[in-house]
Structure 1
């Protein structure tokens, strides 16, 4: 309790804003939806995993800081129940549809966020895959550039794009590899980026179905090491090739890659994280959408680290975080009796230094750190 009290006292000078909220069940996803809403979902193995669309606290909808406010100030706008654990959820842009995935197989579930006079998120269809019995759950990404599409797959040789409403196959990637996938992303309506759990990056162009180009490999590492990636969305109209790609490993290695020069790494650094545990399932790395060169990582313990990458090089030396959010670590024990583990984080789309993070004890935090004197951004 003393440590928690000390952290709260420090928070008065470390944070511009800090909000805490307790979910009924922990989530491993935080997804922005239409109208600055936020979606979360349970990932337990029981039948009743709740999917919720939340209205954020008022300070997230205004430009001015309101100070510390540790209250239950998220409001549930609508919700539904999934019979399976929800490991991933993506809002389909320009629609009222959500797509979810999770064990025990690689099928997808499509949900309709009901009209304003209803508070129900209802299941409308299932997208089965050719390898529907595959035990690995599907990683997903969505886009609406040509139509409501979902990119999905659990392994490199099982990646496809499906039109969400008609459930028609739009594209199937050609690959001889069968590595497990950790992250998928649309770079634009024609270009896909796939990250394998081994750290291997592959580019695909849907106009050339037989083309699957491998980008930079990662530094040699133990075969047990797991990787994930984060892509940064550039300004409207910018070239996707100018967007840096960050990869994070379960050992805390971070690589930055410019897809215009896929044969070399732009930067390599070592994050200051604890020794990796037996699981890397909550690894998360993300670029700040409104702050140049900043990224955040989580999944190692009860903290979220923020880094400024603009001075990084290829030396691989340890990087100094500019801020560490420690709030979840003081929230009590998780369901298993272990200290809470951060399961996911995401950046606010407009507020430069505001992040949302969730942990295995059901805590959901919104925080905006104080920029140290002499730092810009």
Structure 2
């Protein structure tokens, strides 16, 4: 039986300016969080914001008028995992090292599952569909497509853990482990899933330990076979035979597992390219990897972002400086993601308590500073954090089918679901 998540209920916390907005006459309009008698005071405690068209200038336009929807929730612990299962469910997992860490399969509130805003719904909380506990920290989690299996990784990094979502109960239970070739105290294996007839788990700490393991037989079906000790920062499966790797140094490659190790790489780290500025890097390949044009985004811990064409990885199409106030305080949390439902649109996080959305359409040349199309600052403002206690966004993800809807989580255990308004398109 599904139960409501304790702590996920909309909070009635201190008032914040985001809940009031202006109507066309410029007078305040307040949206009641649920049906009932009119409140005696403005209902500025609701964590659910629904945008209204605003034709009068006001000092809160930066929040209320820029969201089509905005929902804030509180988890029991911070997560670095937001992994979709279908378009109505998402996995979260805690990552603290000194306790049992909870893994939850959450179902989105009905309001967030419909295609159009249809007003108020009786159920506005996430619901727990399944849950379990890990004895180790969970830094990443992958759902194996078309199965009830999950694979997690974290510290200590000696093993990957395979989990099964039970059919006759609400439990996520441990199923098996996969031994990691190179065991290092401070490093954890990156992981991705090949969706084959028999799924394969791609994992590795360094290039030298990269391998694909058959999930059923646990036999190794592919290895890099090299002694290269470059540390990995991200892995991504592109199709049934191809994956991309990104090293912490900014080295990036595309690999065909049908062949011996011969990746197409950005071996030149010349002016403007990844690695030239130092720091730590992560990458994501967009859905149009087979189409002409830049479909690979690689993000550095200093805010440099390069776009690469997979046909020529050695020469970035563009290299820009994102509008970040300082280098990432925890480069492990760097994240860049392409919007699946929007052309030339991506998001970045891991620098502070914000998520920035950029339109890459007009990017060209090297070294230009670019302005974000939209910045989500809710993790900072909703709790009234002081500068020295500002939470850090730990991860974000785009909704699979709602073009401008994202989920983001932060180190204070906040979880936000927000649908942003493109102010440039609106004007």
Q: Output the TM-score relative to the length of structure 2.
A: 0.80
Structure of higher RCO (CA pairs closer than 8 Å, 6+ residues apart): 1
CA contact under 8 A between 1:230 and 1:247: conserved in structure 2? Answer: yes
Compute the displacement of 1:36 (Å): 2.9
Structure 2 equivalent of residue 289 of structure 1: 340
CA contact under 8 A between 1:41 and 1:50: conserved in structure 2? Answer: yes
Compute the displacement of 1:131 (Å): 2.2
- Per-residue CA distance 1:92-133 (angstroms, 9 max, x = gap): 111110000001124200000111x31000000000022245
For 1:197 and 1:260, the matched residues in 2 are separated by 22
Structure 1 residue 272 and structure 2 residue 337: aligned?
no
Compute the displacement of 1:318 (Å): 0.8
Aligned CA RMSD, in angstroms, stands at: 2.4
CA contact under 8 A between 2:209 and 2:224: conserved in structure 1? Answer: yes
Describe the SS at the equivalent of 2:347. Answer: strand
Structure 1 equivalent of residue 284 of structure 2: 230
How does 1:81-92 map onto structure 2 within 5 Å? 81-92=133-144
Structure 2 equivalent of residue 101 of structure 1: 153
Alignment partner for residue 319 of structure 1, among 370, 380, 395?
370
Structure 2's unaligned 5+ residue stretches are: 1-13, 21-59
Structure 2 equivalent of residue 149 of structure 1: 200
How does 1:1-377 map onto structure 2 within 5 Å? 5-9=16-20, 10=60, 11-34=63-86, 36-65=88-117, 73-115=125-167, 117-133=168-184, 135-215=186-266, 217=269, 218-219=273-274, 221-223=276-278, 225-234=279-288, 239=290, 244-332=295-383, 338-372=389-423, 374=425
Compute the displacement of 1:231 (Å): 1.6
For 1:101 and 1:299, the matched residues in 2 are separated by 19
CA distance 1:68–1:366, shift in 2 (3 Å): farther
CA contact under 8 A between 1:268 and 1:317: conserved in structure 2? Answer: yes
For 2:240 and 2:417, the matched residues in 1 are separated by 32
Q: Output the TM-score relative to the length of structure 1.
A: 0.91
For 2:350 and 2:15, the matched residues in 1 are separated by 21
Q: Which moved more, 1:143-152 or 1:183-192?
A: 143-152
CA contact under 8 A between 2:330 and 2:350: conserved in structure 1? Answer: no
Structure 1's unaligned 5+ residue stretches are: none
- Report the number of matched residues: 367
For 1:133 and 1:286, the matched residues in 2 are separated by 28
CA distance 1:222–1:312, shift in 2 (3 Å): closer
CA contact under 8 A between 2:92 and 2:105: conserved in structure 1? Answer: yes
CA contact under 8 A between 2:81 and 2:92: conserved in structure 1? Answer: yes
Describe the SS at the equivalent of 1:46. Answer: coil
Compute the displacement of 1:55 (Å): 0.1
CA contact under 8 A between 1:163 and 1:169: conserved in structure 2? Answer: yes
Compute the displacement of 1:331 (Å): 4.1
- Per-residue CA distance 1:312-356 (angstroms, 9 max, x = gap): 01232111111000000124489xx72111000000001110000
Q: Which moved more, 1:241-250 or 1:192-201?
A: 241-250
Q: Which moved more, 1:130-139 or 1:101-110?
A: 130-139
